[in-house]
Structure 1
Amino acid sequence: MSETPVRFGVLGCATIARILSRAIRLAPNASISAIGSRSIDKASKFASDNGFPASAKVYGSYEAVLDDPEVDAVYLPLPTSLHLKWAVLAAEKKKHLLLEKPVALDVKELDTILEACESNGVQFMDATMWMHHPRTAKMKEFLSDPLRFGQLKSVFSLISLRKML
């Protein structure tokens, strides 16, 4: 039996959404159903510039994406100061949530978001891609080899979107 793809709606046209929406389009178990922005023109341009399928709906508001019955989950790349409002509304509309990092301004906001997700029976996930990437397991294996490095006490790492865009 084939798995039904998760139908994503994207709330906002942030630069990081270009990267993640591409990943959604490439995933065999996900699709993009909708994009919403404060401006329908901006949402249309974003969808066109980023190869959204012709079937993806374009909305001039975030609310319209949350009200779309063909959206199962939302990706929320809005500024962190807007996460609490839109994440809670998404959960209340029974939309699973993929929330860009940082997920909240403080722990109280995070607790409110998590409670909204739990009480509405929706999944919460932050967009910390490196934890789920196969290279992370390989990197851990490589760095854990005591014959190469001895016992590591700390690792400093940096990621830049400059190369990804």
Structure 2
Amino acid sequence: MSYPEIRFGILGCAEIARKLSRAITLSPHASLHALGSRSLEKAQQYAKDNNFPSSTILYGSYDEVLDDPNIDAVYVPLPTSLHIKWAVLAANKKKHLLLEKPVALSVEEFDVIVKAVEANGVQFMDSTMWMHHPRTNKMEEFLGNNRLFGDLKSVSYSTSIWLLTSYSLSL
């Protein structure tokens, strides 16, 4: 089966975007089409420091990325407080969205993003790699097999973003 190439634009030069930009360039189904920053000089330096393909278009604003008709999807690694503005603008420009976590500052902001995505017929995904990694399914299969693992009674999980949050699940 043949898949069309997804042409990505990145909004901003955040440190966290380094790994994802490398993954995009390594994917046979994606290309790093553009990078936008608050200044063209910063975009140029970031692209150089991270060995972006020479075909990557560099912009001195986020709006220029969203206005590029050749971009299919936008990765938004900006601070969470900026997600609602740029996610809604991207959705309104018919760009699919990959938002860094946490996606929004509140449920209300998240709802606004979801409404914009649905109204414009674009896809949205958060950038939580762990839950989308193939080994997560393998762990779930193993832990759910009482012959191999035993009877699972509870799971505790901790993650750190800016504050420590713990979740418990009783089965």
Shared fold (TM-score, shorter chain, > 0.5): yes
C-alpha distance in structure 2 between counterparts of 1:159 and 1:136, whole Å: 18
Equivalent position amino acid for 1:56 in 2: T
Unpaired runs of at least 5, structure 1: 161-165
Which string of whole-angstrom CA distances, capped at 9 and with x for unpartnered residues, describes residues 95-120 of structure 1? 11111110001011111111111111
SS of aligned partner of 2:155? coil
Q: How many residues align?
A: 160
| Alignment partner, residue 13 of structure 1 | 13
C-alpha distance in structure 2 between counterparts of 1:25 and 1:49, whole Å: 15
SS of aligned partner of 2:16? helix
Q: Among all aligned residue pairs of Structure 1 and Structure 2, give the percentage whose two residues are the same amino acid.
A: 64
Any residues of structure 2 matched to 1:1-165 within 5 Å, and which?
A: 2-147=2-147, 148-158=149-159
TM value normalised by structure 2: 0.87
Higher relative contact order, chain-length normalized (CA < 8 Å, sep 6+): 1
Change (3 A) 1:13 1:136: same
C-alpha distance in structure 2 between counterparts of 1:44 and 1:53, whole Å: 12
Report deviation, 1:157. 4.7
CA-atom RMSD in angstroms? 1.7
Asked whether the 8 Å contact 2:143–2:152 carries over to 1, the reply is: no
C-alpha distance in structure 1 between counterparts of 2:153 and 2:6, whole Å: 40
Change (3 A) 1:98 1:112: same
Report deviation, 1:51. 2.2
- Greater percentage in strand: 2
C-alpha distance in structure 2 between counterparts of 1:144 and 1:152, whole Å: 11
SS of aligned partner of 2:152? coil
C-alpha distance in structure 2 between counterparts of 1:91 and 1:27, whole Å: 24
Change (3 A) 1:26 1:157: farther
Unpaired runs of at least 5, structure 2: 162-171
Which string of whole-angstrom CA distances, capped at 9 and with x for unpartnered residues, describes residues 60-105 of structure 1? 1000000111111100000000000000000111111111110001
